[in-house]
Amino acid sequence: MKCLLVYGTLSGSTMTAAELAAAELRTAGHEVDVIGVEEASREKLASYGALIVASPSWEDQGKDGQPLPEVRKFLETVTSEDLKDKKVALMGLGDTSYPHYCGAIDIMEEMLKKISVTPIVTSLRVDRYYSLRENEDNVKTWAAGLGKSLAS
C-alpha cells in the first residue's frame, strides 16, 4: 500500500522513529513517503491509501502533553472526506516523567474521532526514544503489525 508518513519533531527523535517505522513498512512491501509536517497538505493525501502521523508530546501554552502546533494545524485541516477509504495510524513520543505521558496521541485520536476516523491499530507510544534501547524494537514491532493491517 502507498503510505504517507507525516511527522513533526523538535529534537529529531520523532523523525528518527518515523524513518525506522517507514523502513519496517518498506520491508513488508509497502511504499512509504516520509515528510515533515511543514510539507504536508490535504491535497497530498489524495494519492495515498494510508496516512501515518507522528508527533512528540510537549508543553504548549502551559498545557503538558500537546502535539506540536504544526501537527495540530495539519490535522485540523484534514476532513473525513480526505480520509475516506484511507487507513490511518498514529505514533507519538513522550516521557513518562511528565504528567501527561504521550498526551499528543490522546489529542490526535480525539481530533480524528471528531471526523469519524479511527486508527487501524493501537497508537504507538514511545518513552524517551534515544535513552531507552528497547524503543527501537518497539517501533519495529509496531510498524510490522501496522504493515500486516495495511495489507489486509
Total number of domains in the chain:
1
Give residue 135's Cα distance to chain centre.
Answer: 15
> What are the φ/ψ torsions at residue 132 (nearest 5 degrees)?
-115, 115
Whole-angstrom distance, CA of residue 88 vs CA of residue 70 = 18
Work out the end-to-end distance of the chain between its first and last CA atoms, rounded to an integer number of angstroms.
10
Whether residue 151 lies inside any domain: the answer is no
Domain contains 19: yes
In a domain, 59, yes or no: yes
Residue with cell 508527533: 55
Q: Which CATH number covers residue 67?
A: 3.40.50.360
Helix (H) or strand (E) holding 106: helix 103-114
| pLDDT per residue as tens, the chain (152 positions) | 999 999 999 888 999 999 999 999 999 999 999 999 999 999 999 999 999 999 999 877 778 788 999 999 999 999 999 999 999 999 999 988 888 889 999 999 999 999 999 999 999 999 887 666 788 999 999 999 999 999 98
pTM value is 0.94
Instruction: Give the bridge partners for 125, in sequence order.
Output: 92
